[in-house]
Amino acid sequence: MASHSPRPQRRASKRLEARPQHLAGVKPLAEAGAILFGGAFFDDLPSDEETPQVEGTVLLAYTESKETVLEQLRQDEYFRSGVWDWDRVQIYGFKTALRKGLEGGT
């Protein structure tokens, strides 16, 4: 399942405040293989010198149901602290047609 959560910049301070707890919460899910990747997305890729303007979040979850993803999102610190706009969360089924691992990727 793929989840897309657009979030406006007005929540940037909440995101930064909640980030340590968010990362601590998703780490066990990633280690267990329940989340394959996740991260922020931008209108354009910022340079190393720029502060990125986060437009939202995307993650790929390995699960059998949309309900499982919804429950994981409800337990996440970004949801509990109001970073994610629950009314704008979108979840889709996903099957890969092409993929290649990244060397040194985490």
Q: pLDDT tens digit string along 41-87?
A: 888 887 888 877 888 888 999 998 999 999 999 999 999 998 888 88
Domain-embedded: residue 82:
yes
Q: How confident is the model at residue 32 (pLDDT cuts 50, 70, 90)?
A: very high
* List of residues 6+ apart from 57 with CB closer than 8 A: 3, 4, 5, 7, 38, 39, 40, 41, 78, 84
Total of domains in the chain: 1
Task: For residue 67, tell me if it sits in a domain.
Answer: yes
Global pTM value: 0.77
| Domain at 30, CATH number | 3.30.70.1060
Residues 6+ apart with CB under 8 A from 25: 75, 76, 77
Contact predicate 5/56, CB 8 Å? yes
Structural domain of 74: 2-44+52-92
Q: Is 97 a domain residue? A: no
- The CA distances from residue 79 to 15, 53, 60, 74, 83, in Å, are 10, 19, 17, 6, 6
Residue 7 has pLDDT above 80, yes or no: no
Per-residue model confidence (pLDDT) at position 64 = 87
Q: How confident is the model at residue 18 (pLDDT cuts 50, 70, 90)?
A: very high
In a domain, 70, yes or no: yes
Whether residue 104 is contained in a domain is answered as: no
Asked if residue 106 belongs to a domain, the reply is no
Tokens of 13: 């301070």
